Structure 1
Amino acid sequence: MTFDAEACAAYIKLSGRSATVEDSYPLEVSLPGITDVILDFDADRHLLGIEILGRLGDGPESILAALSSGRLADALQTEKISCPAALRENPQIKIHNI
């Protein structure tokens, strides 16, 4: 996960392969401390990554809480979007500040 402290934005790259984002759309979800969740897809509708925007001035804690609680994974499942197991099973997250 990369984290931009100035924007309070995190990006989780889900695909190890090089692919072009062809479509992005917001996930309609209400998570404490999260203002927006944007999903990136390739041309074949495979989920490539997730951008998570927190409240300006907050650190990555609210984003990490949404991930570790499983609430983000639940929201993906509700939208019938295949959720990588790593997002549901207590993910091991390394933060790379950008």
Structure 2
Amino acid sequence: MKDTWFLLVGDDGRALTSVDRVTLPSNAVVVDLRDAVKEKNRDSHLAGIAAADLAVFEEITAFGAKQKLEEGSPIGLVGGSKKEALIAQAPSRIGTP
């Protein structure tokens, strides 16, 4: 098991939370991270949003270039510190301006 740091952002790229962490198995892939982020934020920012709808980016440069990680991509050592937090982007909710 290892701690993986992430920043949850909205569809506009603004942070919804401060940097946070989840504990994942050492062989975790992006799907595992999405599930853990959804579970941690299920009653707040991600209420009504499916884990599969989260986009995950390796870092801020990849986020800016819209180069999201594939669902089966291994997490490996990425997100191993607050400074190297993965970016998890939530889609906008239907009916939200």
Report the TM-score when normalising by structure 2.
Answer: 0.34
Report the TM-score when normalising by structure 1.
Answer: 0.34
Higher relative contact order (CA 8 A, sep 6+): 2
